[in-house]
Structure 1
């Protein structure tokens, strides 16, 4: 039972990193990113492939963040001037392109057969010790990411990104460049998603295209909405609640003993969707909302 709780905490921490990156995009800057899972996938496969080639874990994690951030640069230059709805479509298309490339380039990624045997840190500590050590790593990286985003939001640059969200026209009239601000934010949020992908890859030790579908981005949006956009503590709380909802919905099967597995998957999604609807109805700004009208 304890090992199951540790596993839930690790997955919750990974979702927390993902949500912190998306909150930087949307909560602070107002960028609608529906392709967040694409950066997650880049980080996961980059770190997995590099460590399988013999590089240390630190190099894999660093490469995951760097590659995700660098890929966000041209995407940002192409799409950042678009209106919100078009930006959402472009980013969603980007994540699907990444998934298609992963599926088709079997020589590198294993394609639909997946990429097995990804090494996990702390293997010498034994099964139990490795789990606790990995949880400590996830918590530490979450703490660093939380501090980074918090300090960024409290800095003069943070006031700029909030101005982009609230009134971009006024920002331009003051002689500021919102495009440069958006691109930098896009890259930082993508780097956090890449780091989350690396943590996921080395914990699960197996990757396949089915793990990086758009549904993952929907889950991250759900965590941000539940916790409260624009508040770091809110999105971390939202990520924890999201994982509890996802895991708790698994036990609903006990209430429907005659239901097939395929039908049960649809019921789980319906329950998750209902939870989101209820949060939007009764807590539209999330559990720890920022009070800003959007």
Structure 2
């Protein structure tokens, strides 16, 4: 039970990092990025490739963040000629292309089998304290990321992103470069998400193409919509609620005696029900974004 609790909290913390990265793009800037999970995949694969090359974890992390930010810069460039909805579809296509490449280029990514035997960051610490140490690291990074995102959102950069989201023409008239704002928002979110993917690979000791499934992106979107787009507290609450649904279903499975297929359907149904109730009851999320009003 202790190991299960540590594992659940660790995975929730890693998803919180990914959700915070998406919130920088979707919550603050209003960008419909449906290929966001590709950034986490790059971070995860960088951990595996760096380990295979004998690199240190910090060097592998630098590779993952660099690749994710480069991809973010490329995605932002596509937005110059595409409307927001078409741009969202294009990002989904990019993520699927990267997943297909990862599945087929076995010499680099291990193919469909992925890259295994990635060492844990605290491999030398005896159990269960290695898991506790990893959880402490993840929670510290999440706390720092949440604080940073809050400061960015409340600062000049965040106000510029919100102005661009709500009144793009007014933002242009005030001298803001919308392309630069979008690019910086996407690249910032990509860096945070790549860090989450890097930690996930080291925690699971594995990096594979399943990390870049489109369903993972929509799971992150669900977390944001439940908690509240543009709200750091809302993002964290949304992550906790979705992770709680994942955790409670196995207990219900053992208690009620149904099989794994029904458990998977029940998990999806429970998350969908939570999202539907939030959309009907509080369409802006449980903890909606609070904007300062000029009296």
Residue 23 of structure 1, CA deviation: 0.7
Q: For 1:4 and 1:227, how far apart are their aligned partners in 2?
A: 24
Shift of the 186–6 alpha-carbon distance from structure 1 to 2, 3 Å rule, reads same
Report what 1:181 is aligned to. Answer: 181
Output one character per residue of 1:146-167: Cα deviation in whole Å (capped at 9) or x when no partner: 1221222222222111111111
Residue 47 of structure 1, CA deviation: 1.8
Residue 130 of structure 1, CA deviation: 0.9
Counterpart check, 1:280 vs 2:273: no
Structure 1 residues without counterparts, runs of 5 or longer: none
Q: For 2:73 and 2:49, how far apart are their aligned partners in 1?
A: 22
Report what 1:206 is aligned to. Answer: 206
Q: For 1:178 and 1:143, how far apart are their aligned partners in 2?
A: 29
Report what 1:95 is aligned to. Answer: 95
Q: For 1:95 and 1:7, how far apart are their aligned partners in 2?
A: 27
Counterpart contact for 2:37–2:211, Cα < 8 Å:
no
Q: Aligned with 2:117: secondary structure?
A: coil
Counterpart contact for 1:227–1:289, Cα < 8 Å:
yes
Output one character per residue of 1:109-131: Cα deviation in whole Å (capped at 9) or x when no partner: 11112211011111111121110
Counterpart check, 1:123 vs 2:123: yes
Residue 107 of structure 1, CA deviation: 1.0
Q: Aligned with 2:201: secondary structure?
A: helix
Report what 1:168 is aligned to. Answer: 168
Residues 25-174 of structure 1 mapped to structure 2, 5 A cutoff: 25-174=25-174
Counterpart check, 1:221 vs 2:221: yes
TM-score scaled by length of structure 1: 0.94
Residue 251 of structure 1, CA deviation: 3.2
Structure 2 residues without counterparts, runs of 5 or longer: none
Output one character per residue of 1:67-93: Cα deviation in whole Å (capped at 9) or x when no partner: 101111112112355222111101111
Output one character per residue of 1:190-214: Cα deviation in whole Å (capped at 9) or x when no partner: 1111111000000000122223211
Residue 262 of structure 1, CA deviation: 3.6
Shift of the 62–147 alpha-carbon distance from structure 1 to 2, 3 Å rule, reads farther
Large movers: runs of 4+ above 3 Å: 254-259, 261-264
Output one character per residue of 1:212-267: Cα deviation in whole Å (capped at 9) or x when no partner: 211111111111111111111110121111111122223343466354x3454233
Report what 1:19 is aligned to. Answer: 19
Shift of the 56–231 alpha-carbon distance from structure 1 to 2, 3 Å rule, reads same
Counterpart contact for 2:70–2:187, Cα < 8 Å:
yes
Output one character per residue of 1:126-184: Cα deviation in whole Å (capped at 9) or x when no partner: 12111011011101111221122122222222211111111101111223211110011
Give aligned pairs, total.
291
Q: Aligned with 1:229: secondary structure?
A: coil
TM-score scaled by length of structure 2: 0.93
Counterpart contact for 1:80–1:182, Cα < 8 Å:
no
